[in-house]
Structure 1
Amino acid sequence: MLTRALKQAACGLFFFVICAGIANAGKIGVSPVRVTLSDSQKIGSLSVRNEGTEPITMQMEVLSWSQREGKAVFAATRELLANPPIFTIPAGNSQLVRVGLRRAPDAQRELSYRVILEELPPPPDSDSSGSGARMTLRISLPVFVSPEIDTKPLLLWQAVRTSQGALKISLSNSGNAHIQIKNFKLSLIDSVQPWATLQTSDYVLAGQSRDWILPANPENPAPPPGVSLKLFAQTDAGDIEAEVIIAP
C-alpha cells in the first residue's frame, strides 16, 4: 500500500495550528484554535495559557489569508483587531485575548484571516555570554467570517497520472466556504483495501483548489486512465465519499 504523509513545515519552533480543540505547542496552550465571526458575532475570544516555568511575552498580529495556485498568501490588514497586541503571561497562568471584526462581512462569501501569536525573546541576560541560540514560538490560527447567507463548500475531485507515473489528486472548491481536508484514502472500486492513504491537514478556501501528488511506486503503480477510484475523506465538514475517474 502506498502511503504518503504530508507534514506541516517547521522552522525552529514555527507552528501552523489548524486543528480543532486545544493546541499545545510546547509550553503554550491555545483554546480554541479557530475563530468564527459574523455580523451578529463580531468579537471572538482566545485563551492563551503558559504551561512553562517562566513568564512568557507574546505579540499578536492579524493577516488577511487567501490562496493562489494552492499556496497560502498573507497580507497585513486592518479588518481585524487583536487585543491586547502584546501581553506577558506568568508561569501557570492564562491570558484572554479578543479578536474583533472591523468591517462588514462579505455579502456572498466567507472571509479568511490568520491570527499570529509570536513569542518575544526575553531581554539579554547581562550574566550570559550571549553565545546560546534561543528559539521562539510562533502559532498561526485561522479566523473565518461568515456572510449572512448560508455557506458550504462545493467540491470537485479529479485524478490524473503524471508523466512520471505519479497520481495527482486535485480538489476544486467552488463553494462559498472553506473545507479542511484532514486525511483521505483511495481504493479500487472492487477492493476493500485502500490503494493509497494520505494524511494531511490542508485547507481549501472558497473558490480555490489544491493538488496532492502520490509518487510513483513500482510495487504499487497508479491505475491507468479510465479506472475509477473510491475516495473517502475526513474533513471539518464531516466525512465525504466520492468516485474519481482517472483522466486520460
Structure 2
Amino acid sequence: MPVNIEISENNKIATMTVQNNDYTPKKFQLLLLKRVYENGTEEYKETTDLIATPVTFTLHGGKTQLIQLALKNTQNFSTRAKDYRIIVRELPCRVKIENNISSTVNLVVQHSIPITISR
C-alpha cells in the first residue's frame, strides 16, 4: 500500500512510525526535500520549509520510533498544493566479524515518502 503524508491547515502536524523488525539496532537519518522546477525539469532539493524530529535516531530490534513532521511557516499554506518528500535513510553500521569469518550480508535501505502540503 502506498504511503502519503499530508499536512494542511486543519492537520498541521503529521506523524509516521518507523519500525525495526530485525533483532539488531539500526541507525536512521531523515532528509527533507522539496520538488522544484528548474529549466523545465523536475528536481527534488533539500529544504528547510519543513521540520522533522528526530532527525537521526537509533532503533533497537523490535522497537518503533514516532516521527513528527510540520511546516515551519504556516503562512505557506496556499491554494496550490506543494510537494515534498521525506527520505528515511538507514545508515550503515559496523558488523563484528569473529575469527575473520562472516557469512552475513547487510543491506541498508532508503525510503522516499511523499508529503503534500495543501490548504
| TM tier, smaller | 0.7 to 0.9
Q: 1:62 and 2:65 equivalent?
A: no
- Residues 134 and 67 of structure 1: CA distance in aligned 2, closer, same or farther (over 3 Å): farther
Deviation, 1:126, is 6.4
RMSD: 2.7
Following superposition of structure 1 onto structure 2, how do residues 200-219 of structure 1 map, counting pairs within 5 Å? none
C-alpha separation in 1, matches of 2:29 and 2:18: 12
Q: How many residues align structurally?
A: 117
Deviations along 1:88-128, whole A, 9 cap, x unmatched?
11111111010111122342200110000000111353657
Deviation, 1:83, is 0.4
- Residues 43 and 134 of structure 1: CA distance in aligned 2, closer, same or farther (over 3 Å): same
Q: 1:146 and 2:104 equivalent?
A: no
Matched AA of 1:96 = L
- Residues 90 and 73 of structure 1: CA distance in aligned 2, closer, same or farther (over 3 Å): same
- Residues 133 and 71 of structure 1: CA distance in aligned 2, closer, same or farther (over 3 Å): farther
- Looking at CA atoms only, which structure, 1 or 2, has the larger radius of gyration? 1
Deviations along 1:55-88, whole A, 9 cap, x unmatched?
1111111000246799651101000111000111
> Does the 8 Å contact 1:59/1:117 carry over to 2?
yes
C-alpha separation in 2, matches of 1:120 and 1:129: 23
Matched AA of 1:105 = N
Look up the match of 2:88: 117
Q: 1:135 and 2:77 equivalent?
A: no
Identity of counterpart residues, as a percentage?
A: 26
Structure 1 spans left out of the alignment, 5+ residues = 1-18, 21-32, 148-248
SS, match of residue 35 in structure 2: strand
- Residues 130 and 62 of structure 1: CA distance in aligned 2, closer, same or farther (over 3 Å): farther
Look up the match of 2:67: 97
TM-score under structure 1 length normalisation: 0.42
TM-score under structure 2 length normalisation: 0.82
Q: 2:11 aligns with which of 41, 46, 65?
A: 41
Matched AA of 1:98 = Q
Deviations along 1:207-247, whole A, 9 cap, x unmatched?
xxxxxxxxxxxxxxxxxxxxxxxxxxxxxxxxxxxxxxxxx
Deviation, 1:41, is 1.9
Following superposition of structure 1 onto structure 2, how do residues 158-173 of structure 1 map, counting pairs within 5 Å? none
State the structure with bigger RCO (CA 8 A, min sep 6), 1 or 2: 2
C-alpha separation in 1, matches of 2:44 and 2:23: 33
SS, match of residue 66 in structure 2: strand
